[in-house]
Amino acid sequence: MDQELINQAEGALLDLNGVFYVDETLAPGAREAVAALRAANLPRLYLTNTTTRNLDSLYRMLRDLGLPAEKSEILSPPQAAVLYLRTLGKPRCHLLLREELKKDFAEFPVSHVNPDVVVIGDIGDRWNHAIMNQAFQMVMYGAKLVALHKGRFWQVDNELRLDIGAYVAGLEYAAGHEAIIIGKPSPDFFRMALQSLGTSAEKTVMFGDDIEMDVGGAQRVGMKGVLVKTGKYRPEQEVLSSVRPDGFLDSIGDLPRLLEGRGR
Amino acid sequence: MDQELINQAEGALLDLNGVFYVDETLAPGAREAVAALRAANLPRLYLTNTTTRNLDSLYRMLRDLGLPAEKSEILSPPQAAVLYLRTLGKPRCHLLLREELKKDFAEFPVSHVNPDVVVIGDIGDRWNHAIMNQAFQMVMYGAKLVALHKGRFWQVDNELRLDIGAYVAGLEYAAGHEAIIIGKPSPDFFRMALQSLGTSAEKTVMFGDDIEMDVGGAQRVGMKGVLVKTGKYRPEQEVLSSVRPDGFLDSIGDLPRLLEGRGR
């Protein structure tokens, strides 16, 4: 990728899964990349669509993987969702979330009868017709549909797996009601990240393996987007997409060399 | 509705569920409507998106409800799907269908590994993540997605229930691949019905309770569409839809009076 892009960067947004690790296994060069980012003193924020862990759990996982980060350097959809829900007052929520994550939403009253909001996150393999039909009826009776993200699939062990976007899209179609998408590629989510970094959009670079969510999402708010060719990256998606990344990395392991060039 | 529309009609397409019966309970005036259609000698075809029964079973149900029809007067998506699949040669199929319906697809080899086609029909309450993920992966590996219909919901006991369209839309979104929709509102399905009736589009009237599927679908191939205000009909859907029905019936029980006016 273009050395100039890195030279001019004043901040970095970093996708996690597929870039720094895949399926909780460290990506080659990931530790060195983090060390180089620290050494370069470049403000950075991990911007992840992970909805299976809360902030504490993400923090511990990064530490255990040898990728130390402050909690203030991590932004994930559950945190942003809580901020969004607060703007609605004290909405009664129906939470399609893992138990661990439900704790982060404890300030909102739970309701399974005519809730104000249906929050869709990750419930792993538990999706079934009863859950879908119940959420559908709630939305038909007036609940807002709030989705932590609308990812199409992710990659595990060289296999593509269906992500929650299928269920979000299915409910949107059936209820004729567009969901509020919290995570990437939502512009609000990227703007929240920018505010946390304190950098300007045009001098902030997003690094991610998803051409639409990471690269397209970043570009739509005026940032630069770099496609990292690991994780769920597939050459054919690049061909099919209308998004044109500002740069490419074969892996995050290539970042230290580029950051080194920055000083010169 | 306009008497003129009925006077000029040379053929009638009739939705079943929500118009002639709701949840297998006969609608008031349904028998009289069938008798009046016969007496008027108006060519007619039941055009239904039902995917829970095969032709034999539909035929027996109509007979048992006192709505006698020839088998040649019934067209449902499974019949049309078999005709479509034949145009592909002998595709290897993964069938998401009820056991009863699978028999109607017996001519096609079944494959759960890299099938040529994933056929989505009704599997009742059995939808779950394993089924969705498997279908998604098949489509990602090149299988065509063929859906018997893409209905959003239907009505049972005054309750709206999620229909298979949610799962079709979800798979389309995740796989980035548009499904081939067999049933209403597919223009091919309406044209097949017209061919069976032997009438011209502009003198054929579709009667149904779904403003998009029945009325909109019929109008798109040049037919007239009459909205019957029973079954899943809700006034708000009429307001939200861009479809403008050519006529309205409070119930199918109003048809005899209109057909009587025809002779005059």
pLDDT confidence tier of residue B263, bands split at 50, 70 and 90: low
**B137 to chain A, closest Cα gap in Å:** 7
| Rounded Cα distance, A223 and A203, in Å | 7
Of the residues A181, A212, A244, which one is the last residue of a structural domain?
A181
* Percent composition of chain A: helix, strand, coil (DSSP 3-state, to 5): 45, 20, 40
pLDDT over 80 (residue A32) = yes
pLDDT over 80 (residue B264) = no
Share of chain A above pLDDT 90, in %: 86
Q: Do A129 and B130 touch (CB under 8 A)?
A: no
- For residue A69, being part of any structural domain is answered with no
The strand pairing partners of B146, in sequence order, are B119, B180
Domain tally for chain A?
2
**B261 to chain A, closest Cα gap in Å:** 39
Assign residue B39 the CATH number of its domain.
3.40.50.1000
Whole-prediction pTM value?
0.88
User: Could you report the per-residue pLDDT of B128-177, keeping only the tens digit for each?
Assistant: 999 999 999 999 999 999 999 999 998 877 789 999 999 999 999 999 99
User: How many A×B Cβ pairs under 8 Å?
Assistant: 93
Quick one: average pLDDT of B185-204? 96
Chain A's closest residue to B126, CA to CA, is A129
Quick one: average pLDDT of A109-129? 96
pLDDT over 90 (residue B23) = no
Answer yes or no: do A160 and A190 share one domain. Answer: no
Answer yes or no: do A197 and A254 share one domain. Answer: yes
Answer yes or no: do A84 and A162 share one domain. Answer: yes
Q: What is the ipTM of this complex?
A: 0.88
- For residue A134, being part of any structural domain is answered with yes
Q: Do A140 and B130 touch (CB under 8 A)?
A: no
Answer yes or no: do B162 and B142 share one domain. Answer: yes
The strand pairing partners of B96, in sequence order, are B120
User: Could you report the per-residue pLDDT of A68-94, keeping only the tens digit for each?
Assistant: 899 999 999 999 999 999 999 999 999
Do B197 and B11 form a contact (C-beta atoms < 8 A)? yes
Q: What is the pLDDT of residue A263?
A: 65
Q: What is the pLDDT of residue B1?
A: 64
Q: What is the pLDDT of residue B214?
A: 97
- For residue B64, being part of any structural domain is answered with no
Q: Are strands B21-22 and B25-26 parallel, antiparallel or unpaired?
A: antiparallel
Dihedral sign of CA atoms B34, B38, B41, B45 in order: positive
Quick one: average pLDDT of A50-64? 92
Chain A's closest residue to B234, CA to CA, is A140
Paired tokens of B51: 């995917």
pLDDT confidence tier of residue B262, bands split at 50, 70 and 90: confident
Q: Do A174 and B165 touch (CB under 8 A)?
A: yes
Answer yes or no: do A109 and A131 share one domain. Answer: yes
User: Could you report the per-residue pLDDT of A235-260, keeping only the tens digit for each?
Assistant: 988 888 999 999 999 999 999 999 99
User: CA of B247: how far to CAs of B209, B224, B241, in Å?
Assistant: 12, 8, 15
**Chain B hits for A162, Cβ within 8 Å:** 129, 132-133, 136-137, 174
Q: Do A160 and B130 touch (CB under 8 A)?
A: no
CA angle B113, B78, A173 (to 5 degrees): 80
Quick one: average pLDDT of B16-45? 93
Average pLDDT of every residue of chain B: 94
Q: What is the pLDDT of residue B199?
A: 96
Q: Do B170 and A175 touch (CB under 8 A)?
A: no
- For residue A73, being part of any structural domain is answered with no
User: Could you report the per-residue pLDDT of A161-210, keeping only the tens digit for each?
Assistant: 999 999 999 999 999 999 999 999 999 999 999 999 999 999 999 999 99
Q: Do B170 and A167 touch (CB under 8 A)?
A: yes
Answer yes or no: do A176 and A189 share one domain. Answer: no
Answer yes or no: do B96 and B176 share one domain. Answer: yes
Answer yes or no: do B86 and B176 share one domain. Answer: yes
Of the residues A181, A214, A230, which one is the last residue of a structural domain?
A181
- For residue B217, being part of any structural domain is answered with yes
Of the residues A130, A150, A181, which one is the last residue of a structural domain?
A181
pLDDT over 90 (residue B234) = no
- For residue A147, being part of any structural domain is answered with yes
Answer yes or no: do B173 and B98 share one domain. Answer: yes
pLDDT over 90 (residue A143) = yes
CA angle A140, A86, A206 (to 5 degrees): 95
- For residue B143, being part of any structural domain is answered with yes
Answer yes or no: do A112 and A196 share one domain. Answer: no
Do A147 and A120 form a contact (C-beta atoms < 8 A)? yes
What residue spans of chain B are helical by DSSP H?
A: 3-8, 30-39, 55-64, 77-86, 99-102, 129-140, 165-175, 187-197, 217-220, 235-240, 255-262
The strand pairing partners of B75, in sequence order, are B47
Q: What is the pLDDT of residue B154?
A: 85
Q: Do A129 and B162 touch (CB under 8 A)?
A: yes
Answer yes or no: do B160 and B212 share one domain. Answer: no
Instruction: Choose among A129, A170, A171: nearest Cβ to B125.
Output: A129
Please, what is the angle between helix A187-197 and helix A77-86, to 10°? 100
Q: What letters, b where the CB count within 10 A reaches 16 and e where it falls short, cover A95-134?
A: bbbbeebbebbeebeebeeebbbbbbbbbeeebbbebbbe
Answer yes or no: do A10 and A95 share one domain. Answer: no
Range of the domain at A229: 3-49+185-262
- For residue A68, being part of any structural domain is answered with no
Do A252 and A29 form a contact (C-beta atoms < 8 A)? yes
Chain A's closest residue to B173, CA to CA, is A166
pLDDT over 80 (residue B2) = no
| Rounded Cα distance, B233 and B248, in Å | 11
Residue with tokens 């999620």: B162
Share of chain B above pLDDT 90, in %: 87
pLDDT over 90 (residue B261) = no
Q: Do B162 and A136 touch (CB under 8 A)?
A: yes
